[in-house]
Structure 1
Amino acid sequence: MRRSGPVRALLAASAAAAVSAGLVVAAGGAAQAAPAFRAPMPAHVVAPYYETYSGGSPAALAAQSHNTYLTLAFLQTPTAGSCTATWNGDPTTPVSTSVYGKDIAALQARGGNAIPSFGGYAADTTNTDIADSCTDVKSIASVYEGLVTTYGVTRIDLDVEADSLSNTAGIDRRNKAVALTEAWAKRTHRSVEFSYTLPSTTTGLGATGVALLQNAVANHARVDVVNIMTFDYYDGASHEMATDTETAAAGLHDQLAALYPKVPSSRLWSRIGVTEMPGIDDFGPAETFTPADAVTVERWAAAKKINTLSFWALQRDNGTCPGTTGAGACSGVAQPDWYFSNTFEKFTHPDWPWVSPRSTTPAPKPAAHHATRGIRM
């Protein structure tokens, strides 16, 4: 049922007063304590994806695997044409402190945070990514801003692939909404970063990925991280996955240099992220990211000083199904539980003693880090 104009005005005035008093208004009009402002993301962060549609507690699995940052996937609209984002497109799991609020607060209490991620293959092939679904740029920006005020997050991930990569209207709306959100963050003295997660070839982004970033430049949208998915190449070739990660990132670096010719090389590297798929990916054994590859990639990432190391997904970080292709709950290779998490952990915390993959000792609380500004023309 629609509310009348006077009632809407009264609710708006009440909400403004609550914000001024350090409160936020949750769904239904109840005032709650606003999340504290959070520090920016670390300059070097490990943030595996967590499949929210698989259920369970992200914070519990993060504690078991010694992760302090997680990328929570995915947010999308319940139906095409909607301007409301919910977790997994499920109307019963809205953006609310009652949904993942305790988990995100637990990550923050351990010195980490969550990175909510929009899109993903399912949303990007059903027109339910928020920017494909909603035709109002201000409404899209409002959804992004709501994540910050609801959960106290400081980075939002935009996973754009499949059909969304060729939806030029959606790309333009998304980048315009990013620019609006960044302007809002500046006005309200908040720290908000945006990462783009994009499919990659072994030599960098495809033409559609480059076009997406060109549109970001045109819309004055700051891109803090370009995170490439270095798996599922589906080119029929056998791959040495660590080597291909390095060549893909080098290609991305050169593409960014063409887009941002005034930005120094070291700063371009500091805006790059890579996401692996541990073990046997969806294509099959020819694309197997091995435990040895994880060591190689972590050392390379530290040497290049890239921004983000991630993998798809945390639920797969165990060796219970050797030989299985593209499993959702295991890597398909022989490994100790949490091997990939613990190997990548050194990237975020190089001065800590390495945690053995077999260890159950909780990781210590990290010191605060401060990230540099993202790429902007």
Structure 2
Amino acid sequence: MARSDKKAARKAAAADAAATQTDRLQAPESDSGRRLSPWRVIGAALVAVVVVSGGVVGFQWWSARASVDVKPWFASFVDVTATPKYAFENLGSTSTKDAVLSFIVSSPSNACTPSWGGAYTMDQARGSLDLDRRIARLQQQGGDVAVSFGGLANDELALGCTDASALKAAYSSVVERYKVGTIDLDLEGGGLVNSDAATRRATVIAQLQQERRAAGKSLAVWLTLPVSPTGMTTDGTNAIAAMLKAKVDLAGVNLMTMDYGNSKDAEKSMAATSEAALTAAQRQLGVLYNRAGIHQSDPSLWAKIGATPMIGQNDDQGQIFGLADAKALNAWAVSTGLGRMSMWSANRDKTCGSNYVDLTVVSDACSGVIQGKQTFAGLLSKGFDGRIALGEGAVTTAEPTSAAASDDPAHSPYPIWTATNSYLKGTKVTWHHNVYEAKWWTKGDVPDNPVLNAWETPWELVGPVLPGETPIPQPTLPPGTYPNWSGETPYDKGTRVLFDGVPFEAKWWTQGDSPEAASANPDSSPWAPLTQDEIDTILGGGTAQK
């Protein structure tokens, strides 16, 4: 999933093909000419009794509940590498705690090396994004994550990694690194249409799933696919067929109910269009399972269907999934029995600020519609009370944080906080087995001071120190990079100096004004401390961007 006009154009062009595919994927020929065994006759008679005594509606409800023992779940997609960075770990304090982190793709330098968005290897994400710790923080608060592979903007692993053993090792390394129990394969672009990649992917995912189950570990596998109002395209149904042929036990198929292009009826709402698309896809999925020799009841098929709308403004400028659409789609999904609801994305689940002028242009950081106090997550998640399949490594309790807890420098990822040091905005420290990040320049403020309001402390809790961690090298300015501040020297705007080892930059001409006052009254001070990110940039170690 990625915001791109190319996807909308591709979906519009594929609408006719999807309609043809829907017509072809009809139920197989009736077996009404076959003789029924006595047991089947007795079973039919019992069904008739239930229908007569309880009514057709009552029987349908009973059969649905009896055949599906799965709790529907909700989890937002989170774009891990988007700018500005989205603090998904804070979802742990909400009612929608789970998240689908996206996207793991091939590294630009090695197709068999997993990376986040092509920008960070998993080890780089541990340092630059503090990703492992943020996942642990989410888990501390009762949430958990799934990992999504693919998307539109980069290459899904199976596309370029043609060696089966290396491909399986790549998938496995992600699953083991983050100890996830659920993976999502978001197939778009080349990752969807390449048949060789589909076969490789299905084969190694089946092997990985079987190996994990043999070891007593779970691996729920979801496919995320494009859809039009007439259903999935041939490439989408082929991807499912490849998985079933390889004996992958699919948890379900998640449909991207968004960016319908010209296939959308202008008179129909986005919710109604999505309902039509999901209904067509459910029928197709039933045929695919029948062709694979696996019968699925109608309620079971619905439990294997997921929906992921793009909240607010879609890439197609005339298509907006509003709050009313969210309420309507949720009510329909709950009554129908969908097994999953997601959204693209948690990053965008808020009203755009007044400085964002053109709401018809999709933003990575806001929805483009006026939400008031409502969230799309809150509306779409109602009735989806289950949880994603949890990994075996979920962190459920925090490490000790009392004053008696000692921090070991050899096993602390960041320097241990001291009252005498000055800390720039963005600097991370270890304190009482937790990692904190400075929200602004600070000195002498205890990181775990139990304040009532977040604005009372310059520190933000990132997450726990993880088992086996060692210090992460931190870039610092070498001595002599800037001159030490002097009260007798005049400084022009933009001049940089060091004060107690901390770099400051002059906001306007100044002489005799100590940078120390910047912490007490930053607005009136002519000095602004540099951030850790600015230091990284100066040293050439700035983090890569998507």
* TM-score interval (norm. to shorter): 0.7 to 0.9
Report deviation, 1:67: 2.4
What TM-score does the superposition give when structure 1 sets the normalisation length?
0.75
Counterpart position of 1:72: 101
Q: Does the residue aligned with 1:296 lie in a helix, a strand or coil? A: helix
Report deviation, 1:80: 6.8
Q: Which amino acid aligns with 1:281?
A: N
Matches within 5 A, 1:254-333: 254-261=283-290, 262-285=295-318, 287-320=319-352, 323-333=359-369
**Is 2:214 the counterpart of 1:182?**
no
> Does the C-alpha gap of structure 1 residues 201 and 80 become closer, same or farther in structure 2, counting only changes over 3 Å?
farther
Q: Which amino acid aligns with 1:46?
A: F
- C-alpha offsets along residues 223-248 of structure 1, whole Å, 9 cap, x if unaligned? 11100001111116424111111111
Matches within 5 A, 1:90-101: 90-94=119-123, 99-101=130-132
Report deviation, 1:96: 7.3
Counterpart position of 1:45: 73
**Is 2:135 the counterpart of 1:104?**
yes
Q: Which amino acid aligns with 2:97?
A: T
What TM-score does the superposition give when structure 2 sets the normalisation length?
0.53
Q: Mind listing any 5+ residue stretches in structure 2 that lack a counterpart?
A: 1-69, 387-452, 454-546
Counterpart position of 1:218: 245
**Is 2:185 the counterpart of 1:172?**
no
Q: Which amino acid aligns with 1:335?
A: Q
Give the conservation status (yes or no) of the 8 Å contact 1:138–1:180: no
**Is 2:129 the counterpart of 1:89?**
no
Give the conservation status (yes or no) of the 8 Å contact 1:275–1:312: yes
Give the conservation status (yes or no) of the 8 Å contact 1:279–1:290: yes
| Distance in 2 (alpha carbons) for counterparts of 1:194 and 1:106 | 24
| Distance in 2 (alpha carbons) for counterparts of 1:323 and 1:201 | 24
| Distance in 1 (alpha carbons) for counterparts of 2:132 and 2:86 | 11
Give the conservation status (yes or no) of the 8 Å contact 1:117–1:159: yes
- C-alpha offsets along residues 336-362 of structure 1, whole Å, 9 cap, x if unaligned? 256101112323339xxxxxxxxx9xx
Q: Which amino acid aligns with 2:71?
A: A
Give the conservation status (yes or no) of the 8 Å contact 1:76–1:86: yes
| Distance in 2 (alpha carbons) for counterparts of 1:291 and 1:97 | 36
- C-alpha offsets along residues 176-206 of structure 1, whole Å, 9 cap, x if unaligned? 1110111111111101111111110012101
Selected match of 2:379 from 337, 343, 358? 343
Report deviation, 1:214: 1.2
Matches within 5 A, 1:358-369: none
Q: Which amino acid aligns with 1:52?
A: V
Report deviation, 1:64: 6.4
Selected match of 2:149 from 109, 118, 131? 118
| Distance in 1 (alpha carbons) for counterparts of 2:373 and 2:78 | 16
**Is 2:236 the counterpart of 1:209?**
yes
- C-alpha offsets along residues 291-312 of structure 1, whole Å, 9 cap, x if unaligned? 0111111111211221111111
Report deviation, 1:103: 1.9
Report deviation, 1:254: 0.5
Of structures 1 and 2, the one with the larger relative CO (CA 8 A, separation 6+) is: 1
Give the conservation status (yes or no) of the 8 Å contact 1:301–1:347: no
Report deviation, 1:79: 2.0
> Does the C-alpha gap of structure 1 residues 332 and 178 become closer, same or farther in structure 2, counting only changes over 3 Å?
same
Give the percent of matched residue pairs that are identical in Structure 1 and Structure 2: 28
Q: Does the residue aligned with 2:244 lie in a helix, a strand or coil? A: helix
Q: Does the residue aligned with 2:153 lie in a helix, a strand or coil? A: helix
Q: Which amino acid aligns with 2:72?
A: H
Report deviation, 1:110: 2.8
Report deviation, 1:323: 3.4
Give the conservation status (yes or no) of the 8 Å contact 1:284–1:325: yes
Selected match of 2:159 from 106, 109, 132? 132
Give the conservation status (yes or no) of the 8 Å contact 1:178–1:221: yes
| Distance in 2 (alpha carbons) for counterparts of 1:154 and 1:338 | 30
Across the aligned residues of Structure 1 and Structure 2, the Cα RMSD in angstroms comes to: 2.4
| Distance in 2 (alpha carbons) for counterparts of 1:336 and 1:92 | 38
Report deviation, 1:93: 4.1
Q: Mind listing any 5+ residue stretches in structure 1 that lack a counterpart?
A: 1-41, 351-359, 361-377
Give the conservation status (yes or no) of the 8 Å contact 1:71–1:117: yes
Report deviation, 1:92: 4.7
Q: Does the residue aligned with 2:112 lie in a helix, a strand or coil? A: coil
| Distance in 2 (alpha carbons) for counterparts of 1:318 and 1:64 | 17
Counterpart position of 1:243: 272
Q: In terms of mean alpha carbon deviation, does 50-59 or 324-333 score higher?
A: 50-59
Q: In terms of mean alpha carbon deviation, does 258-267 or 71-80 score higher?
A: 71-80
> Does the C-alpha gap of structure 1 residues 95 and 174 become closer, same or farther in structure 2, counting only changes over 3 Å?
farther
Q: Does the residue aligned with 2:300 lie in a helix, a strand or coil? A: helix
| Distance in 2 (alpha carbons) for counterparts of 1:191 and 1:185 | 6
Give the conservation status (yes or no) of the 8 Å contact 2:146–2:180: yes
Q: Which amino acid aligns with 2:139?
A: Q
| Distance in 2 (alpha carbons) for counterparts of 1:190 and 1:50 | 25
Counterpart position of 2:433: none
Structure of larger gyration radius: 2
Q: Does the residue aligned with 2:342 lie in a helix, a strand or coil? A: strand
| Distance in 1 (alpha carbons) for counterparts of 2:148 and 2:373 | 25
